[in-house]
Amino acid sequence: MAEPLTGESADVLRTWLAERIAVFVRRPAAEIDHDVPLGEYGLDSIAAVGFIAEVEDHLDLVLDPTVLWDHPTVNELDAVLRERIASASDVDESA
Partner 1 sequence: MNARGRMEKLEQSLGDPADPGSPLGFAAILAADERAEMFAEGERALDAYGLNAEFVPPEYGGRLTRLDDLAEIMQSVYRRDPCLGLGYGTSSFIAAVNVWTSADDEHRRTVAGLLLGNRRVASAYHELAHGNDMGRTEFEAMPGRGGLVLNGRKEVVTNIQRADALVMFARTDRRQGSRSHSQILVEKEGLAEGGLRYLPRFPSVGMRGVQLGGVEFRDCLIPGDSVLGTAGHGLEVAMRSFQITRTLLPAMMVGILDTGLRTAVGHALSRRLYGGVAADLPEVRSTLVGAFADLLACDCFGLVCARALHLLPRQTSVLAAAAKYAMSGVMSEAMHRLSIVLGAQSYLREGENGIFQKLMRDLLPVGFGHAARAACQMTILPQLPMLARRSWSTADPAPAGLFRQDADLPPVPFAQLSVTAGGQDSLSAGLAGVLEATSAGADRDERRVRDLAGRFLAELRELTETCADLPPGERTFAAGSDAYDLASRYTAVLMAAACLETWRHNRDDPFLGNPAWLIAALGRHAGRLDGRTPELPEDVEKTLYAELLDRHEKGVSFGLSSRRFAGGSR
Q: Which one, 62 or 91, has the nearer CB to partner 1?
A: 62
Residue 59 binds partner 1 (CB under 8 A): no
On the CB side of 88, how many CA atoms lie within 13 Å of its CA?
13
On the CB side of 30, how many CA atoms lie within 13 Å of its CA?
0
Please choose, out of 7-15, 40-48, 75-83, 84-92, the segment that lies near partner 1 by the rule CB under 8 A. Answer: 40-48
Q: Which of 5, 29, 61, 65 binds partner 1 (CB under 8 A)?
A: 65
**C-alpha–C-alpha distance, residues 84 and 31, integer Å:** 27
Q: Which residue type is seen at 60?
A: D
Please choose, out of 4-12, 52-60, 76-84, 86-94, the segment that lies near partner 1 by the rule CB under 8 A. Answer: 52-60
